[in-house]
Structures are given as structure tokens and as C-alpha cells.
Structure 1
Amino acid sequence: MRPVPETVKPVTFAMQCTRCDAASVPHIDFTIVHTWAVQHAVHNPEHAAYREIIHRHWRTAPAD
């Protein structure tokens, strides 16, 4: 199997608070989700741990 880049959606990122499970919306720009996490921590100082979620879509094709 191999990825077929021209038919695959772009990689997106999300952040999820491990304290309350709130999460950012997936976005192709990591700085957007990083900013979400920082703002969530500012408003919830006890929420200091986050999980990075990477959505990497694959479409397969037979190997040459």
C-alpha cells in the first residue's frame, strides 16, 4: 500500500484537554489549535495537560 496524495484530504490537527475532554475543532493550521489550548488553559488554570490529535487521511492503491 502507498498513499495517493492527490486524492487524500490534508492533514489536520486538534487539541483535547485531558482534564475535561473539551477539544478544538480540527484545523490544517496547528497554530489555530495551539492557540485554542492556550486560551483554554488561561480560562481554566487547572487544565494543564492536552492531547494532540493528528488526522492523517490515507487512500490506498496497489503497489507498482
Structure 2
Amino acid sequence: MPLIAAVTAYAETCVDDVGLSVEAANHGAIRPYEAAGFVPYGIELRALNIADVFYDEILMNLDLSRQG
């Protein structure tokens, strides 16, 4: 995905890691993050409450210090 590539390319110039969270059932977002090198490392249960429905979030990290 061009946006993920642009953000991570910029991040490489100033940080060692990029973290994000994504709704656990949003496989359409999880797949491109994993393809870009993000690794899931945890889950935040009941992270979101929308109209009394709770949603879990997957925590992901990209270690830029190991890139290149």
C-alpha cells in the first residue's frame, strides 16, 4: 500500500519503531500491515465501545532498526 510505504519510509528517518492498533476483525487492514512487516504482539480486549458493542484491537509493531 502506497500510504503505508510512505509513512514507514518517513519514519525510518526519525524513529526506531512504529506501533499501531487495528480492530481485530478488520482483516482488510491487518493483511497489508503484515505485508509491510508489522508484527502483532498483543491484543487489547474491549478496546472500543461503540453503541454498547465492544471491539478488541490487535497491537502491532514495525521494528525499523532491523530494516535494510
Give the TM-score range, shorter chain. Answer: 0.3 to 0.5
- Relative contact order, higher structure (CA 8 A, sep 6+): 1
Relative to its length, the structure with more helix (as a share) is 2
Which one has a larger percent strand, Structure 1 or Structure 2? 2
TM-score, reference length from structure 1: 0.37
